[in-house]
Amino acid sequence: MLNRFISLSPLIGKGSRGFQGPALLSKRQSLLKSGAKNKTMSAKPFKVLITHPEVPQSGIDLLKENCELVRVESVPTNRAELLQKIRGVDGILWGGHEALNAEALDAAGPQLKSISTMSAGIDYVDLDEVKRRKIPLGHTPTVLDNAVADLAVGLLIAAGRRFHEGRKKIETDKWENYHLNWMLGQDVRDSVVGFYGFGGIGQAIAKRLSGFDIDQVLYTTRRRVAKDIEKELNAKKVEFDELLAKSDFLVIAAPLTAATQGVFNATAFNKMQKTAVLINIARGKIVNQNDLYDALKSNRIFAAGLDVVDPESLPPTSKLLTLDNIIILPHIGSATNRTRSDMATIAAHNVLRGLAGERMLSPAY
Ligand SMILES: O=CC(=O)O
């Protein structure tokens, strides 16, 4: 009966999975444009909590057709409000990055059938707890690949070509371009670009960089990517040590897990080239920040560009901010209007599909 009311299969293709790479992007784009035109019902059988007041209207409009919406109003999220409003809901669109754990699931109650985050990374979710309760969980990878990839390319050039340091030179009246070797940076042309993690975001970055005449893409992942993707992107899977040794630019694009936490530490930096540039658009905790500070301060590596740090917010007193050879952004990889709206659309579809007992568009497990 539930399926009859809110099945999205005709709209999004039964069993369709989340985006797996550039090849499938066009399919996702047409999905997003198609919108959801479900049959309007007189009674709304589901109660869905929206945990953040700024979830874009695209997602709200989809959900409100068939669901009674309950909304958290506070920003940053007031946990007490969330825990009170979560009681008795059937579905949740988890709009922020606050802990989705046993406390929240207990407060919701056993009728909870469907949750989607509005993020690609789900390191703030207690996944074991969600799985144990057999609650379908969705997330929103892929729709943010392009926005994050654009930002990563920006960071890579900004760090390699010393944008931040250049700006400081002007501010401190140290414009010394009468020196021929002043402010020289690293070429992207003919460089080896390494990826630690090579999913949709990594591949979207590599695709963009092919326009910069790079020499080769290397990547380290658990599983090899499809051969046609390797061919298209001139990419080769290598062991971590080779990645460290050969990359001129090394981009971290892997999820934060127990296995990836702290992997970029002093040992790793000591295996990198002195001219190497490190980019992190994934999660701050993958990098040991003290070791990164030392590596940059001693010019053990050339520069770093970070969109993610640990903790977030980074305190303004952080010693990282005293360095010239680092550029740091406040985790804005997916922060474009269109991407945020697409994320809300996919999250809403996930929630609706979970409520209908159907496979989510982007299941997280
Ligand atoms: O970092 C952003 C995300 O995981 O969506």
CATH number at residue 50: 3.40.50.720
Q: Do 43 and 2 form a contact (C-beta atoms < 8 A)? A: no
- Do 94 and 241 sit in the same domain of this protein? no
- Give the Å distance between the CA of 4 and the centre of ligand 1: 33
- Best of 123, 144, 307 to mutate for ligand 1, by most ligand atoms within 8 A of CB? 144
Q: Is there an atom of ligand 1 within 6 Å of 301 CB?
A: no
- Give the Å distance between the CA of 148 and the centre of ligand 1: 9
Point out which residues pair with 252 in neighbouring strands: 196, 280
Point out which residues pair with 264 in neighbouring strands: 287
- Do 303 and 347 sit in the same domain of this protein? no
Residue 239's Cβ-count burial label (10 Å; 0-12, 13-18, 19+) is exposed
Statement: residue 11 has pLDDT above 90: no
- Do 155 and 270 sit in the same domain of this protein? yes
Statement: residue 10 has pLDDT above 80: no
Residue 294: its pLDDT value, please? 98
Question: In this predicted model, what pLDDT tens digit does every residue of 108-164 receive, in sequence order?
Answer: 999 999 999 999 999 999 999 999 999 999 999 999 999 999 999 999 999 999 999
- Do 254 and 297 sit in the same domain of this protein? yes
**3, part of any domain:** no
Identify the helix (H) or strand (E) that includes residue 274: none
Q: Is there an atom of ligand 1 within 6 Å of 334 CB?
A: yes
Look at the chain and report how many structural domains it folds into.
2
Classify strands 303-306 and 67-71 as parallel, antiparallel or unpaired: unpaired
Q: Is there an atom of ligand 1 within 6 Å of 166 CB?
A: no
Binned at pLDDT 50, 70 and 90, residue 15 comes out as: very low
Binned at pLDDT 50, 70 and 90, residue 30 comes out as: very low
Question: In this predicted model, what pLDDT tens digit does every residue of 190-235 receive, in sequence order?
Answer: 999 999 999 999 999 999 999 999 999 999 999 999 999 999 999 9
Tokens of 315: 């305190």
Half-sphere exposure of 259 (CA within 13 A, CB side): 7
**125, part of any domain:** no
- Do 218 and 320 sit in the same domain of this protein? yes
C-alpha to C-alpha distance for 306 and 328, rounded to whole angstroms: 5
Q: Do 27 and 143 form a contact (C-beta atoms < 8 A)? A: no
**139, part of any domain:** no
Residue 43: its pLDDT value, please? 78
Q: Is there an atom of ligand 1 within 6 Å of 121 CB?
A: yes
Give the catalytic positions in this structure. 331
Residue nearest to atom 5 of ligand 1 (CA): 119
Q: Is there an atom of ligand 1 within 6 Å of 105 CB?
A: no
User: Domain range for residue 270?
Assistant: 144-175+184-328
Residue 28: its pLDDT value, please? 39
Work out whether the CA dihedral 48, 49, 54, 55 comes out positive or negative. negative
- Give the Å distance between the CA of 109 and the centre of ligand 1: 27
- Give the Å distance between the CA of 77 and the centre of ligand 1: 17
**38, part of any domain:** no
Residue nearest to atom 1 of ligand 1 (CA): 121
Using DSSP, state whether 339 is helix, strand or coil. helix
pTM summary value? 0.87
What integer best gives the mean pLDDT of the chain? 90
Residue 74: its pLDDT value, please? 96
Sheet (strand 249-252) strand order: 235-237, 216-220, 192-196, 249-252, 277-280, 303-306, 326-328
Angle at CA 292, nearest 5°, toward 286 and 293? 140
